[in-house]
């Protein structure tokens, strides 16, 4: 901005002026101020090279320069401006100084230019300062005031991502195939009179590959890809959001056919007229403009809008109406097959040891999203480099998984032996339940190496990926969660805070069983209705649609489930006390036990199978 440059110069100008003033002052101070007597004497005796008379009404100011011993001095004197004095002075000067060196000045003869400047400078300074202050005040809130309505959509031409890079997601890809066809040749469809859904909403948990899929669509169709995030729309000034939307469509129109991708659309697309303290005018206007543009998309020929969100429930219904984002594509968490495919995609550029089996890895990572899996492989590769392995080994992958779940291991955090024993007992309790309870999740790994917030942890995975959970599975899960606490109580005769997270999770499951799934003696009635105001955060607004008496009954049921599970955990652990003790001992020795280790402990009482044991000895 030019203005700010000017602003930058002003301090320099002021400094320069100050320096000049100071300089002339010091020069002046070196001059000699004379009374008339000494002035006369100097004029009569010294060699005066020049003199200036300034004729005021009552006095005459005299300045001049004289030389003495090769050095030049300035002198100043004042004499009264009377006729007599005047004549005497002139006579004196004319006798000693050459006429050419005498200057007579009339101070009342104004120099208009100088005067104008003198008046202008303070004014300029003042105005400049004002502008500077105002611009400073605005800088914080709106540094981009001058690029108001320019849409921030980033244009990415030449997208290299293709469907090959998106693993799994076969149904989702199929849904998109039509869109790709349309983008490749919009005319074909319009000639046929077909209305192609031009607003597609991709719904899915974070990291499931929504952004990736959208990019792949643009890549496959080989069209420009505009991407903008919902929060970019929302800005301080009312009306700017809306004009951004307009601007974006106008720009896109120039390069049609093309694709506009709006990431995290829930930032703009929330239900209007809701929320604490009234609606948000700005967001509503932006949303309205978006709706208008989507409606006008008939004119916006060849533009496909894809939006992504993980909160479809908070979106304004008007957005989902036919003709707008009328097609929803749900991008789901990958199942085992999907995970394998994703691992394979991301393994393409990495080197693995021969014994690595990606299928096992996929089996061990239920609930991981595509982004998590990518992260696991990346962490593993980093670990391999750090451990100076030639190729990625199983231990690196293990560490990768653990890191993605719980953050880096805190190897430097030392427990006291007593604490270590307590954690080992606790984790062994979980493990024993996992080993001996029919429906419980399978224990993949137990460790007492602290990680993130957890002291130690059990990696338990369901025996198979399933969408539905039976009552007995849920109960088993609660038993497993309580196993840690039960073991502490039975082995140590002392309980610790280490179980608080387990207890919280167990309670949540039990509550859901009663309230949501109808799995208690209260019967199949749903007591918690999760709707209400989306802006308040669901938990605060879970509507209580039941009486206090029912609340009491629910409490009773939840407690019953927990108590029964606790008893079951106690029974299993006391029956397998010797195994528990063996696991505790092995854990304290090795800190980490794998599924194989645990199976050996159950069978032989030690980590090593007898054959290996013989070999080892
Ligand atoms: P979202 O937008 O759904 O939050 P992204 O599309 O940004 O997730 O995915 C994040 C990363 O996860 C991608 O860059 C990619 O590396 C990986 N990823 C996710 N899903 C897949 C998939 N199906 N195939 C391959 N990689 C995937
Ligand atoms: Mg995304
Ligand atoms: Zn625990």
Closest to 288 (Cα-Cα) out of 260, 253, 316, 258: 316
Ligand number with the minimum distance to the CA of 264: 2
Residues 6 or more apart whose CB falls under 8 angstroms from that of 287 comprise 268, 269, 270, 272, 316, 318, 319
The predicted structure's pLDDT at residue 580: 94
Tell me which CATH code domain 417-612 carries: 1.20.58.760
pLDDT value at residue 534: 43
Ligand 1 atom closest to Cα of residue 168: 23
Strands 442-447 and 592-594: antiparallel
Helix, strand or coil, per DSSP, at residue 564: helix
Specify the fold of 12-119. 3.30.720
**At residue 532, does pLDDT exceed 50?**
no
How high is the mean pLDDT of the chain? 79
pLDDT in tens, 494-531: 888 888 888 999 999 999 899 888 888 888 887 765 54
Predicted local confidence at residue 378, as pLDDT: 92
**Proximal ligand: closest to the CA of 331:** 1
Confidence of residue 538 (pLDDT cuts 50, 70, 90): very low
Sorted by where each begins, the domain ranges of the chain are 12-119, 154-330, 336-406, 417-612
Question: What pLDDT is recorded for position 235?
Answer: 58
Condensed to tens digits (0 to 9), the pLDDT of residues 135-165 reads 766 554 444 444 445 656 677 767 788 888 8
pLDDT of 169 > 90? The answer is no
Ligand with an atom nearest the CA of residue 207: 1
Q: Tell me the average pLDDT across 273-281.
A: 53
- Which protein residue has the closest C-alpha to ligand 1 atom 5? 209
Give the pLDDT of residue 475. Answer: 92
Q: Is the pLDDT of residue 572 over 90?
A: yes
Give the ligand 1 atom nearest the CA of 169: 23
Q: What is the percentage of the chain residues whose pLDDT exceeds 90?
A: 15
Q: Is 126 exposed, middle or buried (0-12, 13-18, 19+ CB in 10 A)?
A: exposed
Residue 365: pLDDT over 60: yes
Burial 297-317 (b: 16+ CB within 10 A, else e): beebebbbbbbbbbebeebbe
- The closest alpha carbon to 448, from 498, 495, 490, belongs to 498
Closest Cα to atom 12, ligand 1: which residue?
A: 371
Rounded average pLDDT over 266-291: 66
The topology under which CATH files domain 336-406 is: Helicase, Ruva Protein; domain 3 (1.10.8)
What percentage of the chain exceeds 70 in pLDDT?
81
What end-to-end distance do the CA atoms of the chain give, in Å? 80
Site to probe by mutation for ligand 1, drawn from 218, 349, 370, 381 as the one with most ligand atoms within 8 Å of Cβ, is 370
State in Å: Cα 264 to ligand 1 middle.
14
Q: Which residues have a Cβ under 8 Å from the Cβ of 240 and sit 6 or more positions away?
A: 148, 149, 282
Pocket-forming residues, ligand 1, beta carbon under 6 Å: 166-169, 204, 206-212, 308, 342, 345, 370-371, 374
Write down the pLDDT at residue 238.
55
For 438-453, how does the pLDDT look when each residue is reduced to its tens digit (9 = 90+)?
Answer: 887 788 888 887 766 6
* 181-190 residue pLDDT tens: 888 887 887 7
CA distance 612 to 597: 12
154-330, CATH topology level: Rossmann fold (3.40.50)
Quick check: 521 and 557 in contact, CB under 8 A? Answer: yes
**Residue range 170-179, pLDDT digits in tens:** 888 888 888 8
The more confident residue out of 209 and 152 is 209
- Is pLDDT at 406 greater than 90 in this prediction? no
pTM for the model:
0.60
How many whole angstroms separate alpha carbon 536 and alpha carbon 274?
10
**Phi, psi of 593, rounded to the nearest 5 degrees:** -125, 140
Strands (E), 106-197: 154-156
pLDDT at 28 over 70: no
Catalytic (active-site) positions: 427
With beta carbons less than 8 A apart as the criterion, state whether 73 and 65 touch: yes
């Amino acid at each position: 901005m030019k203005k700010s440059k000017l602003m930058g110069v002003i301090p320099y100008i002021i400094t320069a002026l100050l320096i000049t003033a100071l300089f002339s002052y010091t020069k002046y101070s070196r001059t000699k101020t004379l009374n008339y007597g000494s002035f006369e004497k100097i004029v009569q005796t010294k060699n005066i090279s020049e003199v200036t008379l300034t004729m005021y009404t009552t006095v005459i100011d005299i300045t001049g320069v004289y030389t003495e011993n090769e050095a030049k001095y300035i002198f100043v004197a004042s004499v009264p401006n009377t006729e007599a004095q005047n004549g005497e002075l002139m006579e004196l000067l004319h006798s000693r100084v050459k006429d050419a060196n005498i200057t007579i000045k009339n101070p009342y003869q104004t120099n208009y230019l100088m005067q104008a400047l003198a008046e202008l400078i303070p004014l300029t300074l003042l105005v400049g300062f004002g502008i500077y202050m105002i611009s400073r005040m605005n800088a914080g809130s709106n540094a981009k005031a001058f690029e108001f309505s320019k849409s921030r959509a980033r244009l990415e031409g030449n997208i290299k991502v293709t469907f090959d890079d998106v693993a799994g997601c076969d149904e989702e890809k199929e849904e998109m195939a039509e869109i790709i066809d349309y983008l490749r040749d919009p005319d074909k469809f319009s000639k046929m009179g077909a209305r192609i859904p031009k607003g597609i909403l991709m719904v899915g948990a974070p990291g499931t590959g929504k952004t990736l899929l959208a990019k792949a669509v643009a890549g496959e169709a080989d069209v420009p890809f505009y991407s903008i995030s919902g929060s970019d729309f929302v800005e301080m000034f009312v009306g700017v959001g809306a004009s951004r939307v307009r601007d974006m469509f106008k720009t896109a129109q120039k390069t049609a056919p093309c694709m506009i991708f709006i990431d995290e659309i829930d930032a703009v697309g929330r239900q209007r007229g809701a929320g604490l303290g009234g609606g948000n005018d700005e967001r509503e206007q932006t949303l309205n403009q978006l709706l208008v543009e989507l409606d006008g998309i008939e004119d916006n020929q060849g533009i496909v809008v894809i939006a992504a969100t993980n909160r479809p429930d908070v979106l304004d219904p008007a957005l989902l109406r036919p003709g707008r984002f009328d097609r929803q594509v749900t991008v789901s968490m990958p199942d085992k097959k999907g995970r394998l495919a994703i691992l394979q995609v991301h393994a393409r550029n990495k080197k693995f040891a021969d014994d690595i089996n990606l299928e096992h890895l996929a089996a061990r990572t239920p609930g991981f999203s595509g982004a998590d899996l990518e992260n696991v492989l990346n962490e593993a590769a980093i670990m391999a480099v750090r451990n100076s392995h030639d190729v990625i080994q199983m231990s690196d992958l293990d560490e990768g998984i653990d890191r993605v779940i719980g953050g880096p291991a805190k190897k430097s955090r030392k427990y006291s032996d007593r604490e270590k024993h307590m954690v080992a007992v606790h984790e062994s309790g979980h493990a024993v339940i996992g080993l001996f309870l029919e429906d419980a999740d399978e224990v993949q790994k137990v460790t007492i190496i602290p990680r993130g917030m957890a002291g130690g942890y059990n990696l338990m995975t369901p025996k198979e990926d399933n969408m539905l959970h039976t009552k007995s599975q849920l109960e088993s899960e609660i038993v497993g969660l309580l196993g840690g606490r039960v073991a502490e109580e039975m082995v140590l005769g002392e309980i610790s805070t280490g179980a608080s997270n387990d207890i919280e999770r167990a309670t949540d499951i039990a509550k859901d069983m009663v309230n949501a799934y109808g799995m208690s003696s209260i019967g199949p009635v749903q007591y918690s209705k999760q709707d209400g105001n989306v802006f308040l955060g669901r938990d605060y607004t879970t509507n209580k649609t039941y009486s206090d008496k029912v609340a009491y009954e629910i409490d009773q049921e939840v407690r019953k489930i927990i108590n029964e599970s606790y008893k079951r955990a106690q029974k299993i652990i006391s029956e397998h006390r010797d195994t528990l003790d063996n696991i505790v001992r092995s854990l304290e020795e090795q800190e980490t036990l794998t599924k194989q280790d645990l199976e050996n402990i159950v069978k032989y009482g030690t980590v090593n199978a007898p054959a290996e044991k013989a070999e080892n000895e």
